Amino acid sequence: MLQIKSFVCNAFQENTYIVYDDTKECVIIDPGMSTGSEENELLRFIAHHKLKPVLSLNTHCHLDHVFGNKFVFDTYGLLPQFHEGEMFILSAMPAYSQSVGMKYDLSPLPEVYLPESGAVTFGNTAFDLLFVPGHSPAHLCFYSKADKVLLSGDALFYGSIGRTDQPGGNHQQLLTNIKEKLFTLPEDVTVYPGHGQSTTIGFEKYNNPFF
């Protein structure tokens, strides 16, 4: 059975997720830890549950979702994986972090980039890759059909959607992708977003004011 633990990190209140199954292998999704206390909280959880981190994944590469990439690499030897189309976003993050006065440890680069479709696997779990650009140019969501779970990053939130006014954003593209790629999932799929509380596909289909 899939287990999901969220940690609210950094000044942007970003959700960092640890996802694990009965094998104790785990995936760290969007590591946003920006302080020692946030890093220690994640370390303690992994150690307490005797988990083995095997993948570090980014839905996209905005600053609040990559703060902890270097820490994860330094601690567990895991290079981040994300779609190559996010590289121009990642390359802008050092200057952006300076402009907002936040310390940012430069993210290592992937050896493996994620494609627009296919799957990533760990333990007994498979996450289908859903390509949902709009908030950022090559945003991915991670979907477990077996467990009816969607890690939606900053595409879809409880009662909202990702902002599209930053470089690489496209409002209409995001709306179209959510309708065609996310709202076609079963309505009882639980959605774990990059910010805020969890929701379901069905709730958002019928209640999200953007639709």
Q: Provide the 8-state DSSP code for 209.
A: T
pLDDT given at position 97: 96
Backbone angles phi, psi at 199, to 5 degrees: -150, -165
Residue 38: what residue type?
Answer: E
pLDDT given at position 143: 98
* Cα distance from N-terminal residue to C-terminal residue, the chain: 32
Residues of the chain with pLDDT under 70: none
Number of domains in the chain: 1
By DSSP bridging, strand 52-57 and strand 80-81 are parallel
In tens, the pLDDT along 15-37 reads 999 999 999 999 999 999 999 99
Sheet architecture: strand order including 3-9? 3-9, 14-20, 25-29, 52-57, 80-81
Q: Is 31 helix (H, G, I), strand (E, B) or coil?
A: coil
Structure tokens at 103: 């310390």
In tens, the pLDDT along 120-129 reads 999 999 999 9
The CATH number of whichever domain residue 180 belongs to comes to: 3.60.15.10
**Owning domain of residue 183:** 3-207
Q: Provide the 8-state DSSP code for 195.
A: B
